[in-house]
Amino acid sequence: MADSKKRLALAIIDFLSTSLKDGTLTAEDSESIEIAQSCIAESFHVDPTDKAAVADALGGQNLLSIYGVYEKLKGKNKASTAGSSSAASAPSAASTAKSSSTTGAAAGSGGSKEDAEKLKGQGNAAMQKKDYSSAIDLYTRALSIAPANPIYLSN
């Protein structure tokens, strides 16, 4: 089985566990969720108690924040009204704003190709520092300037 599928299974198990802990799911749902986690772990041959494997699977993020970035990117590829409402609901934007404040002048969809390249470079630097949430924010901002650039999409 592909490693990416195993990592996704671990991310799903982590999401379910987090949803129980943070109150998204009720205590009444606990037994069903635990069974679901066991079934996923067994089916995909993963160990959710292996902290290193879970950390590798999530890369410092969680499934909800990863999905939030997906929704944000999906919204930016639609009409501008849909993109603005999607961007407002993304959870990672506020948490990474302070660490990427140096790029404030380049932010927004009115930037140039040069601004997008700067943001991509800063995103690459953030990745090297393992600051994944900042990297995602920077890449997302580069995409808002040049949404059709396949290099930004791959980042």
Residue 26 DSSP label = -
**R_g of the chain, CA atoms, integer Å:** 18
What pLDDT is recorded for position 104?
Answer: 40
Note the pLDDT of residue 155: 55
Q: What is the pTM of this model?
A: 0.48
Are 42 and 84 members of one domain?
no
In terms of domains, do 91 and 142 share one?
Answer: yes
Closest CA to 123 of 92, 100, 146, 93: 100
DSSP string, 86-129: HHHH-SHHHHHHTTTGGGGGG-STT--HHHHHHHHHHHHHHHHT
One domain for residues 109 and 53? no
Cα separation, 58 vs 14, whole angstroms: 9
CATH number at residue 51: 1.20.5.420
Residues 89 and 150 in one domain: yes
Cα–Cα distance, 130 to 26 (Å, whole number): 34
pLDDT tens digits, 34-89: 999 999 999 999 999 998 888 888 888 888 888 888 888 888 766 444 444 444 44
The last residue of a domain, from among 15, 30, 58 = 58
What range defines the domain where residue 148 resides?
63-154
- How many structural domains compose the chain? 2
